[in-house]
Amino acid sequence: MWPTSDRIETFLTEAVAPWRCATYLRTTADGEEVASMPVESDPLRLALDRLHIPPDQACFIGDTASDIRAGRAAGVPVYGAAWGYQDAAALAAAGADGLFAEPADVVGLVLGERSVTVG
């Protein structure tokens, strides 16, 4: 996992800690790094570069239309987190490859127990 956020400390304490998945984080892009980047896909590209992962071997999950656009611009498959800031319709309209209804869907997909809702 490689979270990027302009509020990385909030993300790590409020979103990651309750799920106890911090051990899976391999890199992050913090607020200072993200704020200084002129293109919204740059944090994703930074994380891919740090992890030495080609875009076609990664995916991005976001909860806003700008997240979806950033994933597209970075060349990675991008999925919408419909429990987040914007609803499923907005994420689908932005071009998400699929939608997750709740965080457990992400874990289920990784474990092969669930599928992604498309559109």
Full pLDDT tens readout for the chain, 119 residues: 555 555 555 555 565 555 555 555 555 665 566 666 655 667 788 888 888 889 988 888 888 998 899 899 889 999 999 988 899 999 999 999 999 988 888 877 777 776 666 55
Residue 94 within any structural domain of the chain: yes
**What's the token pair of residue 68?**
């979806």
Q: Which domain holds residue 17?
A: 8-110
Q: Find the DSSP H helices in 20-86.
A: 31-35, 42-51, 65-74
Question: What is the pLDDT, as a whole number, of residue 82?
Answer: 92
pTM for the model stands at 0.71
Domain assignment present for 3: no
What CA–CA distance (Å, rounded) separates 3 from 25? 8
Confirm whether 1 is domain-assigned. Answer: no
Q: What CATH number does residue 34 fall under?
A: 3.40.50.1000
C-beta neighbour count of 106 within 10 angstroms: 19
Contact, 66 vs 43, CB < 8 A?
A: no
> Residue 2 falls within a domain, yes or no?
no
* Structural domain contains residue 116: no
List the beta bridge partners of residue 98. Answer: 79
Contact 59, 76 (CB under 8 A): yes
In a domain, 117, yes or no: no
- Range list of H helices, 75-112: 88-93, 103-110
In a domain, 27, yes or no: yes
E strands present in the chain: 60-62, 78-81, 98-100
Predicted local confidence at residue 44, as pLDDT: 80
The domain tally of the chain equals 1
